[in-house]
């Protein structure tokens, strides 16, 4: 046993700096005293002179040398890979820079080309048309809904989609910066705005009409005008409009309705928003649901069904012309304006545009939405157009004639399969008592392939509709002659007349004008065409005279230059010509425009009434105000206002 050189106890280690064996305690004393301090097991010291030991040490040294060479080779390979990687990175950076420069060049060229096309489109729009404007208080993504090919934040921009978006915006915006009164186009939608206040500032609420998960509906009337009644739909922000998407969807629904001017579509007047709720003010519809009225009848004749379907199709012709797809046509969304005494007196109102959409440029919508029993087969595929509404009309007509739904089931999957299989019961005994034209018409509407399905306009001309629907009479032909004397050359008077008839009059006050309009609008498409007017007048006078008179009438009444007389254009002209805008109505209009209650209408108040929708020059409002400002004091007082509206016909 080897002993410690310091204390003589058993040694476990050999210290190189001491040059002697040491015990653990004394070996620690030498730590850090020399850079040569090493400790080896005592066995190595004991066998330091053994040949086997020396051979083992030699072999280990040789192995270490081999490992060292291997490590050097590995490090060399790492250096080589690092160099190649650096070269690859450099090459990639060069390629990326080249690609980036190439793409920037392409985008620059595309931008230049697009700008030129935009300028040309805007110039053409300015030169030829001056369109009405909706609220447009929702983002561009809502306008482009249904156009997924437009990839925002991507190089893959579809030029056609961009140009279509511009076309859509141009179709709903006033001409940029009109500077003269004649540049301003007047339409009912101009006055439908989103007001950031409570609706109770303008209306007095009376009774509750209904409530549901969406909120509550009240009857209300304009303050100071108890006969001017409205329906107010309250939607609480805490329950019905909790997200920004829901808020924008509600604004979009109002915006769509603001552009609609049809006697068989619910009219919207205003949208109010305060801290707690939204309030949509619309016309008061008191007749209830169409099907409740039909169920109260002992017998529904084909003539009655044809009248209802004809009015519904007429509304669709109008909506589809404006590229609006309802997407949720069903009995619950078809109301009666007032309770009629007979089926021939019905006047439908199409409501609930919450699921409606504007067709994109490719005429394809993609959102699967609607009520299952009334959804067209193509809707389930996510590729469809406005003919989905025509299918829904077919389902409604089948239900009216047969008394049961053509597609139904105990749960949603069964209903979906029933719609996709499209096998209505055309052998039902009820068909035996109906005309062959009725069956053929329903079969035309319920064609699975939309390419073979008629449009709303084509369906309106179907033999069954033309055979059983009441033909418009000529009783109002002579009354139309009253409009021959109508004069409304001043743009300010046109605007105020439209404002009064669109916002301030009750249904009772415009009922005569509405009935006359409907008597001429034989297909209920919401327009009086040149051909319809000529045909009506030609019943009482020579064709050439009728054509001359209609041309003169169109020039005076067709204020937006559409080539047809819109519903509100006719109502406004009729009310003005028949002296229906009495002093009381005009004073109420003056009070509404005179927002600061100063007793005078300023340039700013005219702009607030008519200029909310787009950029305009101040010269426009000054030019308009001068049309009534006879004393030149820069404002319009009540007497000047009355003189403008009453004397200058």
Catalytically active residues, by annotation = 328
All residues at 6 or more sequence positions from 123 whose CB lies less than 8 Å from its CB, including other chains: none
H-helix or E-strand spanning residue 232:
strand 225-236
Burial 26-44 (b: 16+ CB within 10 A, else e): bbeebeeeeeeeebeebee
Whole-number Å distance between alpha carbons of 571 and 580: 11
**What values do phi and psi take at 352, rounded to 5?**
60, 85
Closest CA to 466 of 301, 344, 304, 306: 306
Q: How many helices (H) and strands (E) does the chain have?
A: 24, 17
Whole-number Å distance between alpha carbons of 221 and 213: 24
* Three-class HEC string of 586-646: HHHHHHHHCCCCCCEECHHHHHHHHCCCCCCCHHHHHHHHHCCCCCCCCCEEHHHHHHHHH
Q: Which two tokens stand for residue 401?
A: 């004639």
Residue count (the chain): 649
Whole-number Å distance between alpha carbons of 82 and 177: 64
Tokens 């053929």 locate to 440
CA distances from 401 to 30, 154, 299, 398, 458 (A): 113, 53, 10, 5, 21
448 and 422 in contact (C-beta within 8 Å)?
A: yes
Distance of CA 445 to the CA centre of its chain: 27
DSSP for 74-87, written as a single string = HHHHHHHHHHHHHH
Whole-number Å distance between alpha carbons of 471 and 93: 76
437 and 464 in contact (C-beta within 8 Å)?
A: yes
């Amino acid at each position: 046993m080897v002993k410690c050189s310091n204390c003589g106890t058993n040694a476990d280690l050999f210290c190189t700096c001491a040059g002697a064996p040491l015990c653990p305690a004394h070996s620690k004393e030498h730590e850090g005293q020399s850079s040569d301090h090493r400790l080896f097991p005592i066995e190595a010291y004991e066998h330091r002179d053994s040949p086997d030991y020396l051979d083992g040490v030699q072999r280990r040294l040789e192995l270490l040398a081999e490992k060292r060479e291997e490590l050097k080779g590995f490090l060399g390979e790492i250096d080589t890979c690092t160099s190649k990687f650096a070269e690859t990175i450099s090459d990639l950076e060069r390629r990326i820079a080249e690609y980036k420069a190439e793409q920037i060049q392409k985008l620059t060229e595309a931008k230049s080309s697009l700008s030129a096309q935009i300028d040309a489109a805007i110039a053409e729009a300015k030169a030829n048309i001056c369109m009405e404007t909706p609220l447009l208080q929702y983002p561009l993504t809502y306008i482009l809904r249904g156009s997924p090919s437009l990839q925002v934040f991507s190089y893959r921009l579809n030029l056609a989609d961009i140009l279509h978006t511009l076309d859509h915006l141009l179709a709903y915006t006033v001409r940029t910066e009109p500077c003269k009164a004649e540049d301003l186009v007047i339409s009912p939608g101009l006055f439908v705005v989103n007001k950031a206040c409570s609706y109770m500032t303008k209306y007095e609420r009376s009774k509750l009409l209904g409530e549901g998960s969406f909120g509550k509906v009240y009857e209300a009337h304009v303050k100071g005008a108890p006969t001017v009644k409205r329906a107010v739909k309250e939607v609480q922000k805490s329950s019905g409009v909790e997200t920004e998407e829901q808020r924008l969807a509600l604004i979009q629904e109002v915006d769509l309705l603001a552009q609609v001017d049809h006697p068989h579509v619910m009219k919207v007047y205003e949208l109010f928003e305060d801290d707690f709720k939204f309030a949509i003010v619309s016309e008061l519809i008191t007749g209830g649901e169409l099907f409740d009225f039909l169920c109260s009848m002992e017998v529904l004749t084909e003539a009655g069904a044809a009248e209802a379907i004809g009015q519904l199709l007429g509304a669709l012709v109008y909506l589809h012309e404006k590229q609006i797809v309802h997407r949720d046509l069903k009995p619950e969304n078809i109301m009666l304006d007032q309770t009629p005494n007979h089926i021939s007196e019905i006047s439908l109102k199409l409501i609930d545009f919450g699921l409606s959409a504007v067709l994109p440029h490719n005429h394809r919508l993609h959102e699967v939405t609607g009520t299952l029993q009334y959804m067209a087969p193509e809707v389930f595929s996510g590729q469809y157009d406005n003919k989905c509404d025509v299918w829904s009309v077919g389902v409604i007509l089948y239900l009216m004639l047969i008394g049961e739904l053509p597609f139904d089931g105990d749960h949603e999957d069964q209903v979906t399969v029933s719609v996709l299989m499209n096998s209505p019961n055309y052998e039902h005994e009820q068909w035996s008592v109906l005309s062959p034209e009725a069956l053929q018409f329903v079969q035309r509407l319920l064609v699975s392939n939309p390419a073979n399905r008629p449009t709303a306009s084509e369906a309106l001309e179907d033999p069954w509709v033309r055979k059983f629907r009441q033909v418009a009479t000529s009783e109002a032909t002579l009354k139309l002659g009253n409009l021959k004397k109508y004069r409304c050359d001043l743009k300010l008077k046109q605007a105020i007349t439209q404002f009064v008839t669109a916002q301030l009059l009750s249904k009772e006050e415009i009922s005569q004008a509405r009935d006359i309009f409907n008597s001429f609008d034989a297909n209920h498409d919401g327009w009086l065409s040149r051909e319809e007017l000529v045909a009506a007048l030609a019943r009482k006078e020579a064709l050439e005279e009728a054509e001359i008179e209609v041309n003169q009438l169109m020039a005076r009444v067709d204020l937006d230059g559409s080539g047809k007389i819109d519903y509100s254009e006719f109502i406004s002209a009729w009310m003005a010509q028949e002296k229906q805008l009495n002093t009381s109505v005009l004073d109420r209009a003056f009070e509404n425009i005179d927002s600061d209650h100063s007793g005078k209408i300023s340039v700013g108040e005219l702009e607030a009434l008519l200029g909310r929708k787009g950029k305009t020059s101040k010269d426009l409002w000054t030019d308009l105000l001068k049309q009534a400002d006879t004393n030149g004091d820069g404002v319009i007082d009540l007497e000047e206002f009355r003189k403008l509206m009453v004397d200058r016909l």
